Amino acid sequence: MAFKIGSYTVINDNREMMGFRNVLHCGYLICGYRNSILTNYINRADYGTDSTSKISATASHVANYLSGGSGTAKGIAWGVGASGTSHAATDSGVNFLRYGDETVTTGTMSGGDARVYHESVTYEGIAAYTTGGGSAKTDKYTFSTDALSTTTVCPSVLVDHVAAYTGNRQHGFWQYSGTTGRALVFSNDSWTTSSGMLNISSYTQALAISTRENKAYHVGSWYAGDDNSFKALIAGTTITTTSIGECPSRIKGLHGNSESNCFMGNNYGRALGGYSGTGPEQHNMSSKISHMTDTYVDCPALDVPNAGSANDSGDYGASSAATCWR
C-alpha cells in the first residue's frame, strides 16, 4: 500500500521512496585475488574520506570471480560459501554482509547452479540479480522479504566478465564484447535486448560502474594500448557510448585496469584494484569517475591496504571480488 502526505505519494506500492534517494556513504569489497592466491578479507571504502580499510569480519570462504548486490539492510556476494576454495572455482554458495554490525551469514543460490565469472546489478531498494558465468539462469535476492529465488531465464548464456550495470530504475544491462546486449526489465523481470553496447570492441574484462544519472561507465581494459574508459548514456534500452579518456597514468603504467571492483556512489563512482595483464598483474590501485564532469581521476587514498598476499611491488592485489554499497 502506498503512503501519501496529502496528495503526494511518498512511498509507492513497490515500497519505493518517490523523489527521495538515500545518500550512499561506503562500499564493501568482498574476497578477491592476486596470482591465483585468494582471500576472504572484506574491505570497506568510506566515501567521505576516500579511504579503504579492512573490517574484522571475513567471508566464509576464499573466492574470486564472484559478484555482489546491494540490499537495504544487507549486501550479498554470490559465488562464495559452499565449497569453492580454489582459483576460478564454481560455487553455489552465498554470503550476506549485514550492514548494521558488519557480520556475515551464509546461504545457497536458489537456482542450484554453481557459478563463476557471473556479474550482477542492483535495482535500488527492491532486489539484486545475477546471471552469466556459464548459466542462463537468473538468481534474484528480494530485499523486503530477505529471500533468494530464481526469475526469468536470460536469453543468452553469458560468459566471463560481462559488463553489468544500471543507470536508471527501469533496466539492468548485461553486455559482453561481440554478443547481443541483454536488458532485464525491472518492473516484471522479463528480458529484452539493448541497442548499443558499453563494452567497445576489444575492451573485454572491463567491468562497469552503475549510477543514478541515466549513464554508466566502464574502466579500462587489459589489452596493451586500450587504456580508454567509456561513458554509456542510457535512454530506455538504447546505449550511446563515448570515450572519457585514458585511465590514470599510475594505472596506465601497468597496461590498463580490467577486472576492477566497481562501486556506485553519489557524485562519483569508484573502482578499487584491478588487473593489468602484465607486470604485477592483479593490483590494489584505485580511481574515481565524476558523474558531474565525466572525468577519470587517480585516487591513491582508496588503494586497498588489505587484500591478501603482497604482490611483486609490495602492494596488494584485489582483483575480481564482489562489491556492495550502502
- Does any domain span residue 32? no
The answer to whether residue 7 sits within a structural domain is no
Residue 240 one-letter amino acid: T
In contact, 263 and 271? CB cutoff 8 Å? yes
Q: Which pLDDT belongs to residue 51?
A: 96
- Structural domain includes residue 18: no
Cα(211)–Cα(165) distance, integer angstroms: 8
Tell me how many degrees the CA angle 291-297-299 measures, rounded to the nearest 5. 110
* DSSP 3-state percent helix, strand, coil across the chain (nearest 5): 0, 50, 50
Average pLDDT score over residue span 153-178: 83
How would residue 4 be classed by pLDDT, with cut points 50, 70 and 90?
Answer: low
4 occurs within a structural domain: no
pLDDT at 310: 47
Domains held by the chain: number? 1
Burial of 97 (0-12, 13-18, 19+ CB in 10 A): buried
Please check the confidence at residue 34 and state whether its pLDDT lies above 70: yes
Global pTM? Answer: 0.89
- The answer to the question of residue 29 being in a domain is no
**In this predicted structure, which of 44-58, 138-152, 203-217, 243-257 has the lowest mean pLDDT?**
243-257
Name the grid cell of 28.
Answer: 564493501
Highest mean pLDDT among 43-52, 85-94, 160-169, 212-221: 43-52
282 to 36, 143, 217: CA distances (angstroms): 10, 33, 21
Q: What is the pLDDT of residues 262-319, one digit of tens each?
A: 999 999 999 998 887 666 678 888 999 999 999 988 999 999 886 555 443 444 568 8
Residue 287 in any domain: the answer is yes
pLDDT-derived band at 158 (thresholds 50, 70, 90) equals confident
Q: How confident is the model at residue 19 (pLDDT cuts 50, 70, 90)?
A: very low
Q: Where does residue 323 fall: left (phi above 0), alpha (psi -120 to 50 degrees), or beta otherwise?
A: beta
Residue 8 exposed, middle or buried by CB count within 10 Å (0-12, 13-18, 19+): exposed
Instruction: Please name every residue paired with 310 in a beta bridge, in sequence order, or none if there are none.
Output: 316
Name residue, grid cell 571480488. 321
Query: Residue 271's domain is classified under what CATH number?
Result: 2.120.10.80
Output the pLDDT for position 260. 86
- Residue 255 belongs to a domain: yes
Q: In the structure grid, which three cell numbers stand for residue 277, read together?
A: 595483464
Residue 226 has pLDDT above 90, yes or no: no
Mean pLDDT (the chain, rounded): 83
Q: Is residue 24 part of a domain?
A: no
> Residue 123 corresponds to which amino acid?
Y
Cβ-in-10-Å burial (0-12, 13-18, 19+) of 254 comes to buried
DSSP 252: H
Domain residues for the domain of 171 are 38-325
* b/e 217-239 (16+ beta carbons within 10 angstroms → b): bbbbbbbeebbbbbbbebeebeb
- Rounded distance between C-alpha atoms, residue 173 and residue 263, angstroms: 16
What pLDDT is attached to residue 325?
Answer: 97
Sign of the alpha-carbon torsion through 292, 294, 295, 301: positive
Asked if residue 48 has pLDDT above 70, the reply is yes
